[in-house]
Chains A and B, each alone.
Chain A
Amino acid sequence: MKLLSPRERKFLENRLKGLYGVEEGFNDLVLIKCGRGRIRATTKETLELASRLRGIQQIGLYVMKISNGDISLSVEGSQLLNDEIKENVIELDEERVEKWMKAIPIKTETTYHGRYVIGKFNRLYLGSARVSRNGLLYPQIPKWRRIPIAKNSE
């Protein structure tokens, strides 16, 4: 685990602004690289205490993954940014939020810029979905937190 350098952080902030219209971002938080483009966020005090401890497995929250300049926000990453997110958002109704949380692809007519779009249901942000060329969105919900698909449906 390594802290993001000021240059990397600047790049990230620019990408968040370009892709999602985020102005402030994770201002007060420490951002940590934890391999394969994954970024975790935590507080300064947490990081300070971590320097004393042994056997550390994880610090803070997994918030995003960066790949070739594209940013996929985790559910919690998008919830942390909350209404800072202004662009590339898809509003979901009850039927589609159910599909989103089951990681079932969702058909869309809208064109989005970037490879990812962020889901929103009422006031809740639900992380990212990958935008495919065939007009489908593939929600990036990890297997362990998907709503199970009932047998004989979908």
Chain B
Amino acid sequence: MLGEIKLSEGLREYLSKMPDLDLDLLLEAYRRPLPTSFRVNTLKMDEYEILEMLKEKGVSFKKIPWARYGYVVENNSIDLGKTLEHMLGLIYIQAPISMVPVEVLDPKPGERILDLCAAPGSKSTQIAQLLNGLGVLVANDISFERVKALASNLQRFGVLNVIITLMDGRKFPRFAHECFDKVLVDAPCSSLGIVSKNWGIARSWSPEIAKRLSKVQRQLIVAGFDCLKPGGELVYATCTLTVEENEMVIQHLLEKRENAVLKEIDLPSLKYRCGIVEWNGTKFDEELRKTIRVMPYDNWAEGFYVARILKEGDS
């Protein structure tokens, strides 16, 4: 039986103003547990062999169409987190929409990539897998405790070409200006896309939280952009729904850096909608339609916002 979920007054009011949002469907998505999904680690073993090992354990799964090496579990007969395959790093348990930002970033072997807010490392390991041992991944986080988890996950995944740094991401351009081919800014956010993991998020949300986070996110995206080489690409992502933490952050970057250009995102079979271009009477750049909003009920998984930005100039 589905339980009752409580939204704070502020959140209910905020969501009621959002265009293209079905509150009943959102609440239904919040009540449902997230699907269990995983990526197969091709740095360690052949994809087919790992899948066969899981099948022998009675795990059935189907391919996630928008994520290379991603699978969603169809029967929750065993706890994947306690399997040999997980402990040896042959699989990485990661929610399905969380795989989207790195697919949009599309790392290529040989590139230098910065993951500015990397812990606990789901997306870092995904980047490392697509680099396939060539190029370098710099995985940074501001929290010492979270860096420990990041280090463990990168070790278990078998990543050789990685540097783990502990730093406020906003300070990165001081020594890594125009240093990277690609940058991922998976920014800390108010997490309204993953309320099904923790209903407390919806109970305690307030507009002040979104405003406070928005300020940090704006600084992080500019810092990440400044670390890009000309011709490089940045992906900005959050697992939240508020305009302050999403479109307004991108709008801020477009105003601050005139060589920032939004690019289209195209992922097969993923259901999503375009970014919002008008909010509370303020009109944003029409180009923001190129960013994507994934609502939790679009794919009955997490909610996410993703933007892909090119730094114009000769590489």
Contacts and interface: CB of A to CB of B under 8 A. Distances in A.
A and B held together in a complex: yes
Contacts of B174: 54
A29 B160 CA distance: 9
Chain A interface residue bracket vs B: 35 or more
A11 B87 CA distance: 32
Contacts of A148: 82
Chain B interface residue bracket vs A: 20 to 34
B139 to A, nearest CB: 9
A80 B157 CA distance: 12
Contact of B161 (A46, A56, A74): A46
B277 interface: no
A59 B135 contact: no
A75 B158 CA distance: 9
Task: Tell me the interface secondary structure of chain A in the complex.
Answer: mixed
Interface string B275-299: 0000000000000000000000000
Contacts of B140: 55
A58 B164 contact: yes
B112 interface: yes
B84 A97 contact: yes
A45 B112 CA distance: 10
Interface of B: 44-45, 82-84, 87-89, 112, 133, 135-136, 138, 140, 147, 151-152, 155-156, 158-167, 174-176, 179
Interface of A: 29, 41-43, 45-46, 49-50, 52-62, 74-76, 79-80, 97-98, 101, 121, 123-124, 126, 144-148
